[in-house]
Amino acid sequence: MSPRRPPEGPRNLQSRSILAGQAAAAAAEVEQALAQPVDPTAAAFFDVDNTIMQGASIFLLARGLHRRQFFTTRDIARAAWQQAYFKYVGVEDPEHIEQARSAALKFIAGHEVRELEEIGEEVFDEYMAEKIWPGTRAMAQWHLDRGQRVWLMTAAPVEIAQVIARRLGLTGGLGTVAEHVDGVYTGRLVGDMLHGEGKSVAVRALAESEGLDLERCYAYSDSSNDIPMLSLVGHPCAVNPDGHLRSHAKANGWLVRDYRTGRKVAAASLKAGAVGAAASATYLVGKRLRRRL
């Protein structure tokens, strides 16, 4: 019987975020064929979900993959329950933690990179194009018109980030990097999902490789998880922000832009409340399970 590895501590988890950011920056396909930008030291970094696009891009991708029979509804439910169980019951098995970390991309194991890229193009037309926020798209165009480069930053697969960037006429997209060998996905991630601290690492790496002055750069996001990335640049902007980010932005004098209608904001609040209630119920169940264990 092989010895069990110790649970991953905060330092190891942080190193995975750093690895994710470095992998995303390395995998970013910066269009070398583009003419040299008029303003080469300034750029803009846009989060995708609820910033560029209404909703979650990974969910829209999952809808497209589900339609193409990549996985079943039962598979999704099982993965969601496993992650909730491990989170609230407190199981520290490293193998289970690794499974939960890579579950979001594991369903593409055995498929070719080219296949996901082609499906990504179709999913953009089917679901994503109509969900682009016109206001945020206009801001991205504002930067392009001034000769600045514009990159997308997302926890979705990097292949999808690049599809969205290409279809919107942006410079490139950085996202979560799935390991592949000879063009076939293994079902594992390189590092972790690209979010939080991972995005700030990716921005720093890209700024260094592209000669960007971060004080002259811009960043846009809806989520407080992206405060590390927003804090890196000289011009941060909260777009359709959650409550925590809105408060943080106001306290720090950051620009705030909200393109949601009053009805959509109210609906989002109700949805958040419902999710919170569900999470509370799951927490209580987990608490009881812990007592029994």
Whether 49 sits among the annotated catalytic residues: the reply is yes
Q: From 240, 214, 208, 246, select the one nearest 227 (Cα to Cα).
A: 246
User: Residue 87: what residue type?
Assistant: K
**191 φψ region: left (φ > 0), alpha (ψ -120 to 50), beta (else):** left
Q: Which of 39, 49, 213, 242 is an active site residue?
A: 49
**190 φψ region: left (φ > 0), alpha (ψ -120 to 50), beta (else):** beta
Residue 171, SS3 per DSSP: coil
Around Cβ 131, how many Cβ atoms within 10 Å?
14
Q: From 213, 201, 197, 194, select the one nearest 149 (Cα to Cα).
A: 213
DSSP code of residue 6: P
The backbone torsions φ and ψ at residue 151, rounded to the nearest 5 degrees and listed phi first, read: -115, 145
What tokens appear for 264 in the block?
Answer: 């959509």
Around Cβ 227, how many Cβ atoms within 10 Å?
21
Tokens 């037309």 locate to 125
User: Order of strands, edge to edge, in the sheet holding 235-239?
Assistant: 172-176, 149-157, 43-47, 218-221, 235-239, 255-257
Q: Which of 47, 192, 222, 226 is an active site residue?
A: 47
**50 φψ region: left (φ > 0), alpha (ψ -120 to 50), beta (else):** left
Whether 47 sits among the annotated catalytic residues: the reply is yes
The residues that are catalytic are 47, 49
